[in-house]
Amino acid sequence: MKDSVIIVSGGMDSITLLYDKKNEIALGISFNYESNHNAKEIPLAEMHCRRLGIKHITINLDFMGQYFKSSLLEGGEAIPEGNYADENMKSTVVPFRNGIMLSIAIGIAESNNLKKVLIANHGGDHTIYPDCRPEFIKAIDAAAYAGTFVNAHVEAPYTHITKGDIARIGKRLGLNYAETWSCYKGADKHCGRCGTCIERKEALTEAGIDDTTEYEE
């Protein structure tokens, strides 16, 4: 029985979760918050949902681009380069992004009498993004359960594993990660230098996957 919605960006993690839990998912939701890379990611999310026969919708959150402070909303040139764990990557935080998206997704789940909301945050996000941490997921899951008649749950099955682990799941599922997008700069090709590009390369290498991503260099 399909009882879930998924927040699906078009990146490696959410596309892996989409295929991993495809038999449970009734609806895929993408959010356009006017980030540098939304235009690259969302068409991929739509494509994968269509391929799996899963309904997909995109919700406009353009107010975030207007009122929130983040280098992810300021154009590709504002994105720092270097390792994902470096202090400068904190500039890419979009304040409470997951909290806002999950709140909307929980409301949509209840409106469709669905019980679960899936999100693909992972262990590598914890040091940079507060709303990816286990304690946040636990808290918003409790809020979803208490605040809905359907007693909805937020499930984040990748919270305690790495991106390399996710890539290994994708390898088992036969995914083509060239059909996903990671780069925060959002140019025609992955830059290969920003934190998300470096993390992507490392995860694919760790999983023993041939990286066919087109990089600028």
Residues 190-217 have pLDDT tens digits of 999 999 999 999 999 999 999 999 999 7
10 annotated as a binding-site residue:
yes
Number of separate domains in the chain: 1
| Pick from 19-23, 49-53, 90-94, 205-209: least confident | 90-94
Domain assignment present for 213: no
183 annotated as a binding-site residue:
yes
13 annotated as a binding-site residue:
yes
Q: What is the pTM of this model?
A: 0.96
Per-residue pLDDT of 58-111, as tens digits, reads: 999 999 999 999 999 998 889 989 886 667 788 999 999 999 999 999 999 999
Q: Are 154 and 144 in contact (CB under 8 A)?
A: yes
Domain assignment present for 217: no
8 annotated as a binding-site residue:
yes
Distance separating alpha carbons of residues 185 and 196, to the nearest angstrom: 10
3-state SS string for the chain: CCCEEEECCCCHHHHHHHHHCCCCEEEEEEEECCCCCHHHHHHHHHHHHHHHCCEEEEEECHHHHHHCCCHHHCCHHHCCECCCCCHHHHHHCCCCHHHHHHHHHHHHHHHCCCCEEECCCCHHHCCCCHHHCHHHHHHHHHHHHHCCCCCCEEECCCCCCCHHHHHHHHHHHCCCHHHCCCCCCCCCCECCCEHHHHHHHHHHHHCCCCCCCCECC
Domain assignment present for 14: yes
Per-residue pLDDT of 131-175, as tens digits, reads: 999 999 999 999 999 999 999 999 999 999 999 999 999 999 999
Distance separating alpha carbons of residues 25 and 6, to the nearest angstrom: 7
Domain assignment present for 211: no
204 annotated as a binding-site residue:
no
Q: Give the pLDDT of residue 171.
A: 98
Long-range contacts of 58-61 (CB under 8 A, 24+ apart): 58/29, 58/30, 58/31, 58/32, 59/29, 59/30, 59/31, 59/32, 59/104, 60/32, 61/31, 61/32, 61/33, 61/34, 61/100, 61/101
| Pick from 11-20, 73-82, 178-187: least confident | 73-82
Both tokens of 68, joined, read 């929130």
12 annotated as a binding-site residue:
yes
18 annotated as a binding-site residue:
yes
191 annotated as a binding-site residue:
yes
Domain assignment present for 27: yes
Domain assignment present for 214: no
CATH number reported for the structural domain that contains residue 16 in this entry: 3.40.50.620
Domain assignment present for 76: yes
28 annotated as a binding-site residue:
no
Residue 57 φ/ψ, nearest 5 degrees:
-130, 155
82 annotated as a binding-site residue:
no
Q: Give the pLDDT of residue 142.
A: 98
Domain assignment present for 23: yes
What's the domain range around 116?
A: 4-206
150 annotated as a binding-site residue:
no
17 annotated as a binding-site residue:
yes
Q: Average pLDDT, whole number, for the chain?
A: 95
Instruction: Give the chain's largest Cα–Cα span.
Output: 52
Q: Give the pLDDT of residue 139.
A: 98
Show the CA angle centred on residue 8, arms to residues 4 and 13, nearest 5°. 105
